[in-house]
Amino acid sequence: MKTLIWSVAWGDYRYMTQTLMDSIRSVGINHDILTFSDEPLANVLSCEMDKSIDMDFKQYWKFHYLRKLEALDYDLFVFIDSDHYFVRKPPRDFAEIIGADPWHSFLESPINSPLTKRGDWWGVQNHAMTLLYRDFGVVQDTVYSTNGGFWMCKKPFIKHAAATGLLFRDYQRGLKLDLPEEVAIAVMSHLFSKDYSNRFHSRNMDIWASEWTGSLKDRLPSGSEWEFQEYMTNDRSTVNPAIVHAMRSKSALTEVGKKVFESTKMQRVFTPWGQVNNAGVKKGVFS
């Protein structure tokens, strides 16, 4: 499956994204990589941010960028946020992770289970969040949170995925809520999975996990084990995933990226979007 890995970054996040993308290459992943940023990145196809897209604080802009990418000649689009780091090549390729479904994000932690310890997600009490899921069409008994920093969409599903994400935005706003895009992403991973257990993070912890408690604070992940805490249940386990959402390592990611920026300042240039859209893939500008 022809796959594009992509991200969007500005400010210090551009340096983190540089570190991330270099880590992807360092573990032997050869899929094409495209970034949108305020300054050009090195070693990827680097495009300037689209000024027509409103970079709203709740990050629904991700769906607008997804629609933009639909014009490109790829089968699968893999979004990954800046504060990630690859320590090894995942044991399964992205195409295998998404499988036959059109959409993927890992369903991290149960919201309405007897195992649930935390009382709310994004400030919405668990019973109310469960009802929100139900009213938007989710039918599975146990509903889960997700992380908006790592998700995938197949090309034929892009229009529907983006429309659903933005519809959820408007729906929850109508209820006087102000939830971020990752709640929409979670709902979509319930709605658009034939067997949503394939999305359970608990079954895929060798691939990805989020370090949000400080186990790797201010350090780059090294490929060693670290303690993971599940968000809604507080369950702890020792993990060593291929992809680390290094939420508490932003300073280390930034420092490494700044050094790459400095050493490549004469080589880094933007590729005009029109070249990518009309001819970039065919002419091999990604290679």
Q: Are 226 and 237 in contact (CB under 8 A)?
A: no
Closest to 271 measured CA to CA, from 9, 80, 42, 5:
42
Question: What confidence score (pLDDT) does residue 287 get?
Answer: 34
| Radius of gyration, CA atoms only, the chain | 18
* Predicted pLDDT of residue 266: 93
Neighbours of 8 (CB within 10 A): 24
Q: Where are the domains of the chain?
A: 3-283
The number of helix segments (H) and strand segments (E) in the chain equals 9, 13
Query: What pLDDT, on a 0 to 100 scale, did the predictor assign at position 242?
Result: 98
Q: Could you tell me which of 136, 142, 126 has the C-alpha nearest to residue 188?
A: 136
> What is the β-pairing status of strands 124-125 and 144-154?
unpaired
Q: What is the pLDDT, as a whole number, of residue 281?
A: 41
Q: What is the 3-state secondary structure (H, E, C) of 106-151?
A: EEEEECCCCCCCCCEECCEEHHHHHHHHHHCCCCCCCCEEEEEEEE
Fill in the amino acid letter for 240. N
pLDDT at residue 277, as a whole number: 63
Homologous superfamily in CATH for domain 3-283: Spore Coat Polysaccharide Biosynthesis Protein SpsA; Chain A (3.90.550.10)
Residuewise pLDDT in 10s, the chain (287 residues): 999 999 999 999 999 999 999 999 999 999 999 999 999 999 999 999 999 999 999 999 999 999 999 999 999 999 999 999 999 999 999 999 999 999 999 999 999 999 999 999 999 999 999 999 999 999 999 999 999 999 999 999 999 999 999 999 999 999 999 999 999 999 999 999 999 999 999 999 999 999 999 999 999 999 999 999 999 999 999 999 999 999 999 999 999 999 999 999 999 999 999 888 643 443 333 33
170 in Cβ contact with 160 (< 8 Å): no
The structure's pTM equals: 0.95
